[in-house]
Amino acid sequence: ITRQFSCSSAVQSAIKNVTVIGGGLMGSGIAQVAAQAGQNVTLVDVNGDILAKAQKSIGNNLGRVAKKMYKDNPQEGEKFVSEAMGRIKTATDPVSGSQTADLVVEAIVENIDIKHQLFQKLDQVAPDHTIFASNTSSLSVNEIGAVVKRKDKFGGLHFFNPVPVMRLLEVVRGAETSETTYRSMMDWGKALGKTCITCKDTPGFVVNRLLVPYIAEAIRLFERGDASAKDIDIAMKLGAGYPMGPLELADYVGLDTNKFILDGWHKKYPDQQLFKPIPLLNKLVSEGKLGVKTGEGFYKYE
């Protein structure tokens, strides 16, 4: 076996200026970890209120990190937080935010048409050397990148929720991603302190290709009445060592997101049994029970 170009400890990245587009759950986390690693970050969202919310949550999460890193030196901790926050600029216009970027990471809604519109615009304004990456969970990186001219500088950088805590980064090589782009993405991931794995552009890459059918099977098990939600979750935590059970995790990721991913794959691969629609999941989503974010899914939340 030839050794893959793999991630290890602290590494210098040629990427210094990063623009993150989408300031929601994932984008705010990606902006935080990049700023924490000393990068200049521009966080872009069409919605100014979301940007204000993102800055607040980044501040809180950096505080959590500082508390651990500087246990005995709160003053240093405060400095760490204010320096990292100082590296994050915000903007509502993706054009202004991308003119000086070495890397643009897209973390906007999971909709191919909206992603296409964004990348078409970015391709015209970003410098020639700028690498574009999508944080998509379930769409094809090649299909998203089909609208840009710089196909050699396009790839996938798939982070996990919560971004500051989850240590993995999936680096997705599209059909035309160049070796130089791939290596730059790997180096950038390492500089952020993530462990990177490499993967081809296949549905769900590695983690979601395994996790989404696993969650789907757990919902089907519950739907059939084979075990209670609580017992299914206890089983997988204590019997298989997962930090959360599958139904808890479904609520955490969002039942709408789970349904959206399954529906998209089912349309594309109608013969794959694992991707078939699940009546109970569809019912919960239609009732607005989307999990933690709406206060109810398989469980109720305060």
Catalytic member of 158, 184, 248, 258? 158
Residue 237, burial from CB neighbour count under 10 angstroms (0-12, 13-18, 19+):
middle
Contact between 69 and ligand NAD per CB under 6 A: no
Contact between 166 and ligand CAA per CB under 6 A: yes
Contact between 290 and ligand CAA per CB under 6 A: no
Contact between 206 and ligand CAA per CB under 6 A: no
Which one of the spans 18-26, 75-83, 214-222, 229-237 is the region binding ligand NAD (CB under 6 A)? 18-26
Catalytic member of 137, 142, 184, 258? 137
To ligand CAA, the closest distance from the beta carbon of 283 in angstroms equals: 21
Give catalytic status of residue 73 as yes or no. Answer: no
Give catalytic status of residue 116 as yes or no. Answer: no
Contact between 243 and ligand CAA per CB under 6 A: yes
DSSP conformational letter for 3: P
Contact between 171 and ligand NAD per CB under 6 A: no
Report the C-alpha gap between 65 and 9 in whole angstroms.
Answer: 19
Q: In what order do the strands lie in the sheet with 40-44?
A: 88-91, 40-44, 17-21, 103-106, 131-134, 154-158, 168-173, 195-200
Contact between 245 and ligand CAA per CB under 6 A: no
Nearest to 119, CA basis, from 261, 257, 19, 14 = 19
CB closer to ligand NAD, 236 vs 255: 255
Report the C-alpha gap between 87 and 181 in whole angstroms.
Answer: 24
Nearest to 100, CA basis, from 119, 83, 124, 125 = 125
Catalytic member of 135, 140, 170, 258? 170
Which residue carries 């299909």 as its tokens? 143
Which residue carries 């204010």 as its tokens? 82
Residue 64: which residues within 8 A CB-CB, separation 6 or more?
Answer: none
| H or E stretch at 21 | strand 17-21
The correct pick among 132, 154, 160, 298 for binding ligand CAA (CB under 6 A) is: 160
Give catalytic status of residue 137 as yes or no. Answer: yes
Count of residues near ligand CAA by CB under 6 A = 16
Stretch 197-236: interaction string toward ligand NAD, x if CB under 6 A: ----------------------------------------
Active site residues per annotation = 137, 158, 170, 208
Q: Residues interacting with ligand NAD, by CB under 6 A?
A: 21-27, 44-47, 50, 94, 107-110, 114, 118, 135-137, 159, 161, 253, 257
